[in-house]
Chain A
Amino acid sequence: MALYGSTYAGYGFGTLVTVVIAYGILDLIVNGRWFNIAYLIETPSPYFWASMGIGLCIGLSVIGAAWGILLTGVSIVGAAVKTPRIRTKNLISIIFCEVVAIYGLIVAIVFSSKLSNAIPVSGWSREALYAGYAMFWAGLTVGMANLACGVCVGVVGSSCALADAADPQLFVKVLVIEIFGSIIGLFGLIVGLLMTGRVTPFK
């Protein structure tokens, strides 16, 4: 498995470097400039950046939540075959994972309210470009934080279910660890909302 991983990484990284250098040489030959990153960043409409941020925000948050529910649910169901008393109490771990998806939903809805149709007269205004970039990275922040948080809460919730099945007084103690895990998603939500706090809707 480690050999496969290093082979994939080696081939993938080599391909990436080759493609990037080839693009640079092509751009140099055709346009006479070497790696014009600003052109790649400024030319797409800010609606592209904003929409990708929103889509990735909800998508990655739900992937994290689903991964967590998957991990926790399997452990609850497996352990409850012999100790069915644990099933109702351990649903709180599932709810912690669900809350992660709700964070992503809230941020996606808040960002979508900042989108409005605007005609760019003589190019995009600086506010519009700022709005696009901020919403892209804020959406990605929230999405990646919720992805990590969902997996974290899922793993701890799975351990919580198995510990509860073994010894009932362990449940509350492991739940405290799970609460520490779920504030990771809250950090992402706070930073995402701070980033777009000064974004004015497109006009």
Chain B
Amino acid sequence: MSGPTVYCPVYSPLFGALGCAAAISLSCFGAAYGTAKSGVGIATMGVLRPDLVLKNALPVVMAGIIGIYGLVVAVLLSSGLSRDMTLFASFIQLAAGLGQGLSGLAAGYAIGVVGDAGVRGSAQQPRLYVGMILILIFAEVLGLYGLIVGLILNTRANGASCT
């Protein structure tokens, strides 16, 4: 493997590593917000309806899945990091990580707020549980869109070698 050339400059892995870090850290922000906000709702609801607490822990699980999406993208991006990377590959990794991170952050926020209101409402109205699940699934799929874009971009960056 030759040293840094003009096509593979020495600062190239900076952007790839930034993408990898953004994917996991921003997704974790979203997952943490989702867990915390809906957890507060579950705890408040559980004071009067303790039998519903485990059933209504669904928003917490879905927020955790957002973190897993970020983990998947970050692990895939990190396997593409190397000492000699083309700028092409590292910028694409930046795009993949940033796209997944912002998507996970937004999806986690949505899951948190909707989960909080949903568990409080479904404790008062049992027919609301299915409606809350449907809205949470739509919010979860937003994180999946970020994962899809991250995976597509990552496969685009594979195979670029320094010649």
Contact = CB atoms under 8 A, between A and B. Distances in A.
Interface of A: 45, 47-48, 50-52, 54-60, 62-63, 65-67, 69-70, 73-74, 76-78, 80-82, 84, 87-88, 91, 94-95, 97-98, 101-102, 104-105, 108-109, 112, 115, 117-120
B110 A66 contact: yes
Contacts of B159: 117
Interface stretch (B50-58, B76-84, B145-153): B145-153
Contact of B149 (A80, A97, A105): A105
The B contact surface, by secondary structure, is: helix
A56 to B, nearest CB: 7
A55 B160 CA distance: 20
B128 A77 contact: yes
A98 B113 CA distance: 17
A91 B139 CA distance: 12
A115 B93 CA distance: 12
A51 B95 contact: yes
Contacts of A84: 125, 127-128, 131
Interface of B: 7, 15, 86-89, 91-92, 94-99, 101-103, 105-107, 109-110, 113-114, 117-118, 121-122, 124-125, 127-128, 130-132, 134-135, 138-139, 141-143, 145-146, 148-149, 152-153, 156, 159-160, 163
B131 A48 contact: no
A180 B106 CA distance: 24
A73 B139 contact: yes
Contacts of B130: 87
Nearest to A139: B95
B135 A52 contact: no
Contacts of A94: 134-135, 138
Contacts of B138: 69, 94-95, 97-98
A59 B135 contact: no
B102 A54 contact: no
Given A59-B102, A77-B114, A105 B109 contact: no
Contacts of B160: 117
Given A65-B106, A69-B139, A73-B139, A81 B94 contact: no
Nearest to B113: A70
A73 B114 contact: yes
Which residue, B92, B107, B131, has most C-beta atoms of chain A within 10 A? B131
Contact of A70 (B94, B114, B122, B163): B114
B91 A50 contact: yes
B132 to A, nearest CB: 6
A77 B132 contact: yes
B101 A59 contact: yes
B151 to A, nearest CB: 11
Nearest to B9: A45
